[in-house]
Chain A
Amino acid sequence: MSERPPRRRFVRRVARHRAAVAGSAVVSLLLLVAALAPLIAPFDPAAQSLDAGLSGPSWSHWLGQDRLGRDLLSRLLYGARISAVVGLGTVSLSLAIGLLAGSLSGFLGGRVDHLFMRLADILLAFPGILLAIAITSVLGPSLRNVLIALSALGWVGYARLIRGQILKVRELEFVQSARAVGSPPVRLLLVHILPNAVSPVIVEATFGIARAIVAEAGLSFLGLGVQPPVPSWGAMINEGRHFLFVAPHLTTVPGLAIMITVMAFNFLGDGLRDAMDVREEIR
């Protein structure tokens, strides 16, 4: 059997995974919408027209208008920016910290390892979104503080994952032989170990983006996230739920946007995981 280059083999595998393809299509669309929101939004998302408040979908306002008469479609499109920024921002920040902590922990071992892992244990004792709620309620609600709050807990998972991977990879033969020919530790870590330890981290990061998007929407729903008039999907649901009787679309539409986005990242993550699964390769 001819050996294909691993990267192309990987791309082919993802491409065969139907859910992953659908997921990546939706994710690309989300990023595109987030980038182009000012160009494609039909109205200014903050422009009010009070006499048209709570009106349903019409030719000029496809998804209707909210309590203050703001165009729901435009707010939805702009809301994608917040979700994209928080999703990617939180994961980048968490990854950066997690990569550093995990590498130091796994590579150096000993006291450093002990320090980071006990810190991780303490942080993991806080369930889910609770720590983020605590941090944003102390720091005050803003986009920056949401990023800080979510990353403060987000890095732990990556650090533990990377540490475990490093412990596994550094015992492999090619790393041992690199060490035997005198490769310095930093080169060993950066060139030989890390590149071979990242696949599960990439999968985890994909799920992490979905989690961050839900967490931001949850915080904004509680009024602890992005502040008005900036449109966030979570805040839009919270504003809308007071008008469930008269204007249910104010709640259902942004919720649908969150759900589709989250599902897309989850499907993409599933696909990447299946495509990278080592057990599959052996078979």
Chain B
Amino acid sequence: MLGESALAAQKEELRRELRLDRPVVVQYGEFLLGLAKGDLGTSFRSREPVLREILRRVPATLLLSVASMVFALLIAVPLGVLSAMRQHSPVDHLCGFLAMLGLSMPNFWLGPLLILIFSIGLGLFPVSGYGTAGHLVLPALTMGTGMAAILMRMLRSSLLEEIRQDYVRAACARGLSRRDAVLRHALANSLIPVLTVMGLQFGALLSGSIITETIFSWPGIGRLTVQAIEARDYPLVQGCILFIALCTVTVNLVTDLLYSRLDPRIRYE
């Protein structure tokens, strides 16, 4: 931070300023106390409070995460339903293969690949950046694909289970077509486990944003994390990682609570 030619006194000064001269236990205690007050420390690089830097990046990451989720659902629900209603058909096998493909394609490859096809090849979307709806498409596709694959597999298996239930047969007996019975009755029930997985996957989505935002120069928390690591800005790295972990835990908790709301059979003591 001071460069090669720094004087011993300057080094000492900086150590005092960063409170590195205190025992580690004291430093940790101060950190925890600050944390309780919402103080994540000060960034080495920008000299700004870490929390302020993080909060500034939240909207971009939130936008990207929500867009990815929407994309994942738009793909997963129709294909999942199709696959379950035509189990063992060629369509089902094709969907299964696509899901496997989606799961096996890492973000850091899918992103450049999409840029290659849609930006460089077809010129449809900008290569990277932030600001317009066009900028959102490729990053959301990159982040949503893996999620879509997971949700589709989940929906297929949970719908297959629901379709075999008596109430679906009863609905058919009352004259509903099989399609209507599945779409009107079974689908809603089969979405409950899908919602759980979505909640659990949200954390994976957020940590996935670290790579996706780097590829597309998206000004969110993920990119901030990587920039902080590259600049060895440890308070900022610490803050970002803590923030992402905290968001994950919160979303998981909310999912658990929602679960009992959606399915009255589940009650927490």
* Least distance between B49 CB and chain A CB atoms (Å): 21
Write out the residue numbers on chain B whose beta carbons fall within 8 Å of the beta carbon of A258. Answer: 106, 109
Helix, strand, loop or mixed for chain B's interface?
helix
| Interface residue from B103, B113, B252 paired with A255 (Cβ < 8 Å) | B113
| Interface residue from A130, A217, A266, A267 paired with B106 (Cβ < 8 Å) | A217
Write out the residue numbers on chain B whose beta carbons fall within 8 Å of the beta carbon of A267. Answer: 100
| Interface residue from A138, A221, A262, A266 paired with B211 (Cβ < 8 Å) | A221
**CB of B241 within 8 Å of the partner chain:** yes
Write out the residue numbers on chain B whose beta carbons fall within 8 Å of the beta carbon of A137. Answer: 229, 237
Nearest-neighbor residue (CB-CB) of A126 within chain B:
B245
Contact with B along A222-245 (1 / 0, CB 8 A): 111000000000100110110011
Write out the residue numbers on chain B whose beta carbons fall within 8 Å of the beta carbon of A237. Answer: 108-109, 112
Task: Place the interface of chain A in its size category.
Answer: 35 or more
Considering the chains assembled together, what is the distance between the CA atoms of A153 and B103 in angstroms?
20
Nearest-neighbor residue (CB-CB) of B228 within chain A:
A137
Considering the chains assembled together, what is the distance between the CA atoms of A237 and B234 in angstroms?
27
Helix, strand, loop or mixed for chain A's interface?
helix
Question: Are A222 and B116 in contact, CB atoms less than 8 angstroms apart?
Answer: no
**Total interface residues in chain B, CB < 8 Å:** 35
Considering the chains assembled together, what is the distance between the CA atoms of A255 and B108 in angstroms?
8
**A251 in contact with B112 given A128-B204, A134-B237, A137-B229 (CB within 8 Å):** yes
**CB of A263 within 8 Å of the partner chain:** yes
Question: Are B109 and A251 in contact, CB atoms less than 8 angstroms apart?
Answer: yes
Considering the chains assembled together, what is the distance between the CA atoms of A5 and B166 in angstroms?
40
**CB of B248 within 8 Å of the partner chain:** yes
**CB of A259 within 8 Å of the partner chain:** yes
Across the A-B interface, the 6 shortest Cβ-Cβ residue pairs = A127-B203, A255-B109, A130-B207, A262-B104, A263-B104, A221-B108
Q: Give A residues with C-beta under 8 Å from B.
A: 125-130, 133-134, 137-138, 210, 214, 217-218, 221-224, 234, 237-238, 240-241, 244-245, 248, 251-252, 254-255, 258-259, 262-263, 266-267
